[in-house]
Structure 1
Amino acid sequence: MEGALGDNIFFLVVEYIAMGCCGMVGGMWAIRKKYDLFAIITTSWITALGGGIVRDVLLGALPPVGIADRGFVFTGLAAGLLVAIAHPEIDKWKWLMLTLDALALGLFAVNGTAKALDFGMSGMASVFLGMFTALAGGLIRDMMLNQVPVVVRDKHWYAFPAAIGCILTVFVWKGAHSRTFDVKTEMILDTCIVLLVVVMRIISVKFDLTLLGAAKRTKPIKVSTPKIRIHKKRKRNNINNNLILSNANKDVTKNDEDL
């Protein structure tokens, strides 16, 4: 991993576990579609590493770690093979898989954002690249399987916690590089960000929390443009002028009769 988390072997192991979980989640979707072993393993690999590949291509960091790092590649492929064998048991571990998937979401968000910042990207661009790292693998998987992406279909908090994690990572990174705090503090703060993403994701599923949608309205807003108002005003003026002319004609006619 890039940044402070990458300096700790514990978090590197956690990242491999989370990556394997992402791969198993992707493989389970392929199994539900009744695809063959090659498709299952491919789907697992792209789910686990697709976000990092997209990020590295956009950063120009070639070749991407998703195809260059043997440990990452073998983890994604092994996850597909494992889920192909043990999918009946894995399918029962709903909350464990949800927790590990949320952990991967937080780790990838922090990792992707930190790597973009290390490459000299702006804070806003780094947030988007962190989002790509966290979400692009699932997006590619769902497009491969011809289904609506989970990031759109799942009404619970998914992309929202990732976005929060990416934004907070920018502030932590800038604080560390401006000597506001040391590397150890940066690592602690990055860990807290990952845990925050995990907690937000789990709480949203547990308590059925969703973001607000479009406002419910029964009547459309009536908007009158200045042009319409001018037109109405001109129409009233024309009516008044016609009345004045009509009254004037009547007065002239009456005067002629008197004469």
Structure 2
Amino acid sequence: MGALAWVALAMLGVMLAGWAWQRRHQNIGIVDALWALGVGGSAVAIAAAGDGAPAVRVALAVFGGLWGLRLGWHLWQRVRGEAEDGRYAHLRAHWHGHQGWILGFFIGQALLVVLFALPFVAAAGQPEASAWRIALAAVVWGVSVGGEAIADRQLARFRADPSNKGQVCRVGLWRYSRHPNYFFEWLHWFTYVVLAAGAPLGWLAWSGPVVMYVFLRWLSGVPYTEQQALRTRGQAYRDYQRTTSMIFPWPPRRSPASESPP
């Protein structure tokens, strides 16, 4: 568990630097990129410090590190190329720009990195280097990270088209889920459940998908994103909510407005 203390100290420094950056650039969104990079970095650090089978720890470092690098880079591209995300602009307005509240938010994100590093501790202690277990984890990782990358790319392409301004993205994976990126993000955490299966702390790996789902569904994911979508897209997004599954991909329902009268 000593590695978690180092992760906490490192992330505190990173988030303090991120808070200083947002003061200059008036963009809280940097916190998302730093969180993803921090979680990915913690996977690498914990894998290096673990005492489990070397093959499992290498897999952990590769899976966690590449996931964090891809997501962090994607989020950084958005932060540096766009105005502050509407969710964070609303939060800044709610706090009247008070930097003390914003600083507390950044510190809270540093603590969340530690929370989401717990599955890595479980996997890094896996004593058995089972080839089938690593292969299954690779499949889960590939499907989840690939799916999230596709969803991110589809949304970015949609938003880049000026003719889509104010419209709701229903292309590709977004036709089947209002938040396909969240679905694949949640699915990704099962990678470490598989890697840690049968390990002394294997049960701890379940904190990843469980805590991630709670945050996405009820705390920081869907609620804030959909509130912002309703503010900016209004009735069009309400129609989208009625016809499209929230997180888990599913064929869309017919809109009542599109049904023929009896």
Does the alignment reach a TM-score above 0.5?
no
For normalisation by structure 2, the TM-score amounts to: 0.28
Larger radius of gyration, structure 1 or 2?
A: 1
For normalisation by structure 1, the TM-score amounts to: 0.28
